[in-house]
Chain A
Amino acid sequence: MATLQEPGAGTTSGTATGADAATALPIPGEWGVVPRISGARAMRRMARAVTSNGKAAAGAILLLIFILVGLFPGVIAHDDPNAEIYKPNLGVSTAHLLGTTAFGQDMFAQVIYGTRPVLEIAFGAGLGCTIIAMLIGVAAAYLGGVWDSVLNLLTDVLLVIPAFPLLIVIGSYLGGATTGVMIAVITCISWSYTARQLRSQALSLRNREFLEAARVRGERPIYIIVVEIIPTMTSLLVASFLTNALYAVLFSSSLQFIGLGDPSVTSWGTMLYWAENQEALQTGQALWIIVPGLCIVALGAAFALLNYAFDEIGNPALRPVRSMRGKRVKPAN
C-alpha cells in the first residue's frame, strides 16, 4: 500500500495557496531556486552524488541487484516457478532454498521469477506518471490563463480522490489486471502530485532571463518547453520517477494481494495472495509470507533511499550534521 506519502505533501489548498506554499516552504523534492543547469550536467551531478552519498549508493546497488535478477532469473533459479512438481509445504533445504508452497512449487524460483513483473510495473508506471505529469504540469505553467486553471483543477481533483479505493473499483470491474493494464491504470490515477510539483517549478522559471532571451530570439513555444524548460527540471523529474515507481510497487503488490492481479503471472504480490489464501501463517509456512514481503520492502527502500539522497543533495539544509549545539554556544569571532 502507498504508505509513503510524498514528503511535505504540498498542500491541498487551491491554485493560489498551493503555489504560494510550494515556494514559501522548502519542500523536499522541490528544488527551490534552481540555477540553470543543463540536463547533461544535472545527470553528471547526480551520478557523482550516487557515488559519494551513502544512502544513494545503497539504494543504487539494491536496485541494480533487482534489475539483474529481473533480467536473468533463469541464471539464479533453476526451477520453473509455476510447475507444481514437488511435495507441498517442504521446509528449507539445499534443494529448495526457501522450501515449497502448498501447491508444491519451488518458492525460491517464485521469488526470483517474481522480480521481473514488479520491475516492469515500477518502471512502466514510474515513467508513465512522470511523462504525463511533465506534459500537464509544464503545459499548465507555460500556457497560463484558462489552460492553467482547467489543467490545475483536473490535477487537484485527481489529487484528493482516494487512489487505492478507486484502483480497487476499477480492478474489480476489469476482473483482475494484467501487467500492462496495471501500468495503465496506476499511471492514470497517480500522476497528479508530480504534475503539481512540476507546474510550480515551471512557474518559478517563467520570468527568468534565459527564457526571455529565447522568446526574443523568436523560438517557438514547443522549442522553449522542450529545450529550455524541461532540461532544468532533470533532477525533479528523476525524483518524480523514483517516487512514482515506489508507489507503483506498493499499489500493484497490494492489488495483487487482494486478488486483483493476473493470477497466471508469478510476482511477489500474487505469491502473498496465494499464501494468505492457503493460510500460510496458520500452517507454519511463514516464509511464504515473509520473503515476498521483504522483497517488496527492499525494492521500495531502494527507490526511497535514492529519492531521499537526492533530496539531501538538492536541499543542503536537510543534510545530516554532526552537531549544531557546539556551534551555537561558541561566540562569533
Chain B
Amino acid sequence: MRFVLRRIGFFLLTLWVALTLNFLLPRMMPGNPALAVIGKFKAGVPPQALKALDAEFGLNAHQSLLSQYGSYLSDVATGKWGVSLTTEPGNSVARMVLDALPWTLGLVGITTVMAFILGTFIGIIGAWRRGGRLDSILPPIFVIMTVIPYFWLGLLLILFFGIKLHWLPYIESYNFTLTPALDWTFISNVLEHAVLPGVTLLVTTIGTWILTMRNTMITTLAEDYVRMARAKGLPGWRIMMDYAARNAILPNLTGFAMSLGFVVGGAILIEEVFNYQGLGYMLLQAVNNEDYPLMQALFLLITVAVLVAILFSDIATAILDPRTRGAR
C-alpha cells in the first residue's frame, strides 16, 4: 500500500513539473514567441478569448509571474484551455483535443497492446529454443528494426502498399465522403485505414519487447527452480510459461510503461505521415501554424496520458511482484 501511495505521490509531482514546464517554456524563450504570434492574430481573436490567452502566455506585463502562474493552474484544472489561434480560429481547444483523442487511443492503444503480447510471446519462444533458428535470426534483425525511424518506415509502406500496389488506403483515418455511423461500411473503412499506420507502429515497437523478454527469460531459465521443475518431469510448456516466463515478464511490464513515452512520440510522426487525425497530427499542425494554445493543450494531454499509463503499470507491478511491495 505504501508503495502505491508513493507512486501516486510521484505521479502528482511529475504532473506538476509538466504543468510548470508548459507554463515556463514560452516565457523562457527569447522574446516570448507566443506573444509575437498572438500579436499577429489579435484582430481575429474575440476579446473573451484574448483574456484567456493573457493568462496562458503572460501578455499581461503588469501581472506578476506568480499570479499568472496561479491563474494558469486554475484554468488548466477547470478545463479552460483557451481557444485555437490559427488551426481552427476561435474554436475551443478542449473540444478539438477531445475530438482527436479517440483516434490516437484506438490506433496507438491497440497497436501497443498487440506489440506487447506478440513481442513477449516471441521473446519467450526465442529464449526457450535457445540456439534454434528463430533465436539466431531474430536478435540481429530486431536490433536493426529498432533503429528504423517510425516515420520513414511509414513512408516506405505508403510507397509499396499504397502507391505501387494500391492495396490499402494511406491517407486519413477514414474516407471522408462516408458519414460516421456504427455500420459495417464505416467500421471496415476505418479498419482498412488503420492497417498501414498500425503495422508501422507494430513493426518498429515489437523488437524492444522481444529483446527484453528474451534476455530476461534466458537468465530465468538458468535458475534453480527451473532445473527443479525439469527434474520433476513437468511438461515443457508448463516450465516455459508458469516457471520461467511468469518471472521473466516483470521487466517487460515495467518497460511497457517506459516505452509508452517513446511510442507516443513515434505515433506523432506516424499520424503526420498518414494524415491520421489524432493528437499527434494535430500537434504538428499546431506547430506548423504556430497555434500555441493548441500545442500547449496537446503536450499536456499527451504527457498526462503517459503518466497515467505509468502509474497503472506501477500498480500492476506491485500486485504481481511481492518484492516491490516489501521495498520500503
Contact = CB atoms under 8 A, between A and B. Distances in A.
B14 to A, nearest CB: 5
A26 B219 CA distance: 8
A293 B18 CA distance: 32
A161 B14 contact: yes
Interface in A3-42: 3-5, 7-14, 16-17, 20-21, 24-28
Interface stretch (B40-48, B64-72, B281-289): B281-289
Interface residues of A, number: 74
Interface of B is mostly: helix
A294 to B, nearest CB: 9
Chain B: interface size category: 35 or more
Interface string B22-66: 100110010001100000000000000000000000000000000
B284 A321 contact: no
A162 B303 contact: yes
Given A17-B327, A164-B268, A3 B287 contact: no
Interface stretch (B91-99, B144-152, B189-197): B144-152
B265 A165 contact: yes
A20 B327 contact: yes
A20 B132 CA distance: 32
A308 B207 CA distance: 13
Contacts of B187: none
Nearest to B205: A3
A120 interface: no
B251 A281 contact: no
Contact of A3 (B21, B146, B324): B146
B255 A165 contact: no
A169 B299 contact: yes
A171 B266 CA distance: 16
27 contacts: A1-B204, A3-B266, A5-B146, A5-B208, A9-B255, A10-B258, A17-B324, A21-B254, A25-B216, A26-B215, A153-B13, A159-B258, A162-B260, A165-B268, A168-B284, A169-B296, A173-B33, A174-B29, A246-B147, A254-B151, A258-B287, A259-B287, A290-B156, A290-B159, A293-B149, A293-B152, A325-B131
Interface of A: 1-5, 7-14, 16-17, 20-21, 24-28, 55, 153, 156-157, 159-166, 168-175, 246, 250, 253-254, 257-260, 272, 276, 281-282, 286, 289-290, 293, 296-297, 300-301, 303-305, 308, 317-318, 320-325
Nearest first, the 3 A-B pairs at minimum CB distance are A164-B265, A300-B147, A293-B152
